[in-house]
Amino acid sequence: MDLDPDLAALRPLGGFSVLHASKTSPYGPFPTLAHAYAPVDGEPGQGGRAHHNPGFGGPGDATPDAPAPLRADPLAFRVHKVAAAIRAPDRRVAASVAHQGLAARLWSVTLGCAALYGHVPDLTPSLLHWDPDATAPDDLWLAEVRSRPGDVATIAEVVLRTHLTPLTATLHARYRVATGLLRGNAASALAGAGRELDRWARRHGRTDTAARARSLTSGLLAHPLLAGTGTLTGTAFRRRSCCLYYRVPGGGLCGDCCFSRPPGSPGPPRAARTARSPRDP
């Protein structure tokens, strides 16, 4: 089954998998992800200057009252929003959580389409618009649905190489988030998306969809850009890095964290572990 213009088959999967698709934006003008990934003027690292926004310091200088013009740099705006929502102690934590949230959205859309349609939409960053102030499903809008094969190699090209590679480079340059940590985030988000799709399919008696979701997830985790980031057992994933969420006040550990207790904390192993993943604020 080829893709329909509205990607309607994704709707029953829940908001994280839904993608609005229309030639006209349903919400108004928003930047594309191509703009979000673009480097900003100024020095690399944490001190770059936001687009069209002189005087506000570097991207990610997050304070609860960030001015609206920061939206001109959507990635910095998103990191700012996440930092305020989770009370992140430093920008690296907020950047990591923002990265994992966007990665989970992209994986959820593509895995859902591949498992249900057998095809995936072309998510070229210049076609994919993003509202950094919104949460799923109202954060993404695709200007044109172009069908591509739903195999592992194509999904890796659509998500890993086209989106997560430039996103990782930008976040590493701006916020000094380790690339290994961001690779772990990408793998964790992929495993989480695959697990949710598998659960949905099993609840609705769609054993073929569940099998397809598991096969795609394991195949993508074996891709050279994700290989070695963790261990997949069934649909359970244990990563070899930490997303830094334990540093958020009251955050604890995510369900797939490499740690058995938050670093530097007393108490029994796994005492603070939760079954969550820091997708969106």
Query: Do 151 and 40 touch, CB atoms closer than 8 A?
Result: no
CA 175 to chain centre: 17
Output the pLDDT for position 50.
Answer: 37
What value does the CA radius of gyration of the chain take, rounded to a whole number of Å? 18
Q: Rounded to whole angstroms, how far apart are CA atoms 96 and 88?
A: 10
Q: Rounded to whole angstroms, how far apart are CA atoms 23 and 4?
A: 14
The 10 Å Cβ neighbour count of residue 263 is 10
Parts of the chain with a pLDDT under 70: 25-28, 41-71, 265-281
Output the pLDDT for position 72.
Answer: 80
Q: What is the pLDDT of residues 7-53, one digit of tens each?
A: 999 999 999 999 999 877 666 678 899 999 987 765 344 333 333 33
Output the pLDDT for position 34.
Answer: 94
Output the pLDDT for position 199.
Answer: 97
Q: Rounded to whole angstroms, how far apart are CA atoms 63 and 49?
A: 16
Tokens in use for 207? 């054993």
Q: What is the pLDDT of residues 99-112, one digit of tens each?
A: 999 999 999 999 99
Output the pLDDT for position 266.
Answer: 57
Output the pLDDT for position 267.
Answer: 54
Q: Rounded to whole angstroms, how far apart are CA atoms 76 and 42?
A: 14
Q: Are strands 230-233 and 128-130 parallel, antiparallel or unpaired?
A: unpaired
